[in-house]
Structure 1
Amino acid sequence: MNREKAALQLAAPEVQFDIQLSSTPRGARLARLLAVEWLRPRQDVPYDVTEAAAQIIAELTANAVTHGRVAGRDFRLALAALPGLLRIEVSDTRGSDLPELPEAHAGRGLLLVEKLADRWGVAPGPVPRKTVWAELDHPSDL
């Protein structure tokens, strides 16, 4: 797992998707569906990157509603499409218990993220939040 701090700020990307949803399984499913609908028509994001992003979003949002849920608080999904890069961020309001790559006997969700993403990590704060992010590189000359 790459633990470097997020170098890319989502404040002013070329194209951005940002949504806040309820911390429920239904909210996680809706996050994935809406993100895929936003990504699919994009000519600058290849199909294989969209498919990998859908799997990563499914895992990270499921983790947010399972392990990061605080009653009455939502989670946030943000995507930034930049030339040659797709960045995914999932923020929840449980800043403790930062995720790590699991052992072989633990869950497989982050192992899938590790395999599909070019980079991923965790950015703590601001209190009480944490953000798990993943980046997918792709050719920028599409």
Structure 2
Amino acid sequence: MSVTLNPFLRQVLFADAAVSGAAALLMAAGAPFLSPLLGLPSGLLFWAGMVLIPFVATLLVVARRGRAPGFLLVDIVALNALWVAASFGVLVTAAVEPTLLGFAFVTAQALVVALFGWLQFSGLRRQTAQA
């Protein structure tokens, strides 16, 4: 089933792409500088940033087209949920020993991603309810 994106959902996808793109650049390019400040491994920061690049590209393509398969929109929401779970999982499992700033960074970015996921889910639900 293909879904025509309402203006709200398109704007949320564009905003997610902008914020995720900025985070990708910050983490990938700034990993050596951020690592000592955040207490997070440089490799983790770098690869987290790199993983975001295809996600950002997908968000931009979907938002620009204005129409997308419903499963792709559900996948975007699911990927955001997985990112949130992984972010908190890293903190809870003590896989890393972040500084207070690092803990705040991981928590803040996870909450922003959760907000985008919730907004996307809400926009998708609203869109499919109108169809």
Q: TM-score surpassing 0.5? A: no
- Flag the structure with higher strand content: 1
Greater C-alpha radius of gyration: 2
TM-score, normalisation: structure 2: 0.34
Higher relative contact order (CA 8 A, sep 6+): 2
